[in-house]
Amino acid sequence: MTYVYNESTAVVGPLAAFAEPHTYDLCEPHARNLTAPRGWDVVRHEGEFEPPPPTTDDLVALAEAVREAARPAPRPPQEPSRQDQPQTPQTGRRGHLRVIPPTH
């Protein structure tokens, strides 16, 4: 979307393939439902809104997100075990999984 101020017009069209000053990317629902100030005209692109082809920025951002998700969570420091206490099974938790000790 962009504005033509001297003509009091808002122009809504497909996403640009490169960054341009004074333009704004809108999702499809907002592009279809955009309204302009009173006295302004809205010029809309006729047809389907197709996403632009992926750029290297998109691919780098995706790779960084995958790397971040694959990193293991830091483990909390372990307390020193006490020799005088009997060892009993504990219920552990890691992420969304739980370890339940067997019942004897």
For residue range 30-70, list pLDDT tens digits in order.
Answer: 888 888 889 999 998 777 666 666 667 777 888 888 888 87
Contacts of 98 (CB under 8 A, 6+ apart): 91, 92
* CA distance from start to end of the chain: 67
Contacts of 7 (CB under 8 A, 6+ apart): 41
pLDDT value at residue 69: 80
Strands 92-94 and 41-44: unpaired
Inter-residue contact 44 to 12 (CB < 8 Å): yes
Return the top range by mean pLDDT from 4-8, 61-65, 86-90.
Answer: 4-8
